Amino acid sequence: MLNHYLKITPEVSEALSKGQPVVALESTIIAHGMPYPKNVETALAVESLVRKNGATPATIAIIDGQLCAGLSEKEIRHIGKLGKKVAKVSRRDIPFMISKKITGATTVASTMIIAEMAGISIFATGGIGGVHRGAESSMDVSADLQELAHTNVAVVSAGAKAILDLKLTLEYLETFGVPVVGYKTDEFPAFYTRQSGLNVDYRVDNVTELAEALFTKWDLGLKGGVLIANPILKKDQMKFNSISEAIEKAIQKAEQKGIKGKAITPFLLGEIVKITKGKSLDANIQLVYNNAKLAAKLAVALSKKNI
């Protein structure tokens, strides 16, 4: 029924038909998360890392109104060059992107939706969206969290983006029954750093155990995803105090400019890059690489359970 909306590349389709491991990758990080050409270089490097670790990459986007699971290098370069001219697409936007035949970069939420349609259950990203600071009055909560509550895709990330209210984000996930699993950590990572002062629900130290938990969850018919918190490597993390100061400055500037809604995250990330003189971008790239490696290994382990 959904086939006419969804285009799967031959490489991804073949892997899925054979029960081989596939890892979904988002495209908002290409269009809105990094400047050109670093965004394209990173996207292609991530795909290469997924392959090297035994899985097939499926970068997800909407091209001319068609849901795409898997992009060509040409399509990745096209989205990267267009950058913020490409629409940022979450759940609410999908039907309009299709009906108007627009090209859009998918957020965590919309990537999860398309991944599930294609039959992909493991997804690697940088950091998820969450509850924004001041959400008690603004009600600014990312659609990523509801998607995690309802869509059967496990998301490997370096926690939630550090610009968010991490404590409220974890409370929200707990309310909707989303397991937050720390990979080789008891502490929920804060994107650029390994520390947040907040605990995960469960710690898992190997991909076999993690695959077993995912398989069991979905085999029991328990709907929804799992957030796998994979801390940035120690050698790549930023100093907690310096990144915290940069985030506060960026938030103040956003408030002064009145920037809200879907524009807030890319604005803040861009400002933080400026304030840290590029160090935050370097950390962002390294944590994405780290997540891609883990996601590929997890997809391999899960494929063995599904045989």
Q: What is the distance between the alpha carbons of residues 170 and 165, in angstroms, rounded to a whole number?
A: 9
Contact 169, 130 (CB under 8 A): yes
pLDDT at residue 259, rounded to an integer = 85
**69 inside domain:** yes
Residue 105 lies in a domain: yes
pLDDT of 1: 44
Rg (alpha carbons) of the chain, rounded to whole number: 18
Number of domains in the chain: 1
Residue 186 domain-assigned (yes or no):
yes
Q: What is the 3-state secondary structure (H, E, C) of the chain?
A: CCCCCEEECHHHHHHHHCCCCEEEECCHHHHCCCCCCHHHHHHHHHHHHHHHCCCEEEEEEEECCEEEECCCHHHHHHHHHHHHHCEEECHHHHHHHHHCCCCEEECHHHHHHHHHHHCCCEEECCCECCEECCHHHHCCECHHHHHHHHCCCEEEECEECCCECHHHHHHHHHHCCCCEEEECCCECCECCECCCCCECCEEECCHHHHHHHHHHHHHCCCCCCEEEECCCCCCCCCCHHHHHHHHHHHHHHHHHHCCCHHHHHHHHHHHHHHHCCCHHHHHHHHHHHHHHHHHHHHHHHHHHHCC
pLDDT for the residue numbered 307: 56
Q: Look up residue 304 and give its amino acid.
A: K
Q: Which of 47, 88, 161, 271 is catalytic?
A: 161
On whether residue 131 sits in a domain, the answer given is yes
Asked, for residue 1, whether it belongs to a domain, the answer is no
Its domain, for residue 81, covers 6-305
Contact 290, 233 (CB under 8 A): yes
pLDDT along the chain (307 residues), means of 10: 85 97 97 93 98 98 98 97 95 97 97 98 96 82 96 97 92 97 98 95 97 97 98 95 90 87 80 92 96 98 85
Please report where in the chains the tokens 């997924």 appear, as a residue: 50
CB 143 within 8 A of CB 166: no
Smallest CA-to-CA distance from 75 within 135, 24, 139, 27 is with 27
**CATH number of the domain where residue 119 is located:** 3.40.1790.10
CB 89 within 8 A of CB 106: yes
Q: Report d(CA 84, CA 92) in Å as an integer.
A: 19
> Which has the closest alpha carbon to 158: 128, 179, 186, 122?
128
Query: Parallel, antiparallel, or unpaired for β 56-63 and 104-106?
Result: antiparallel
Angle between helical axes of 264-275 and 240-257 (0-180°, round to 10): 130
Residue 210 lies in a domain: yes
Residue 138 forms part of a structural domain: yes
Tokens at residue 143, please? 């659609």
pLDDT of the residue at 264:
81
Rounded Cα gap, residues 285 and 297, in angstroms:
19
Assigned domain for 132 exists: yes
Strand pairing category for 122-124 and 104-106: unpaired
pLDDT of residue 2: 59
Distances (CA, A) of 227 to 167, 241, 249: 15, 26, 29
62: β partners: 67, 104
pTM of the model: 0.94
26 is catalytic: yes
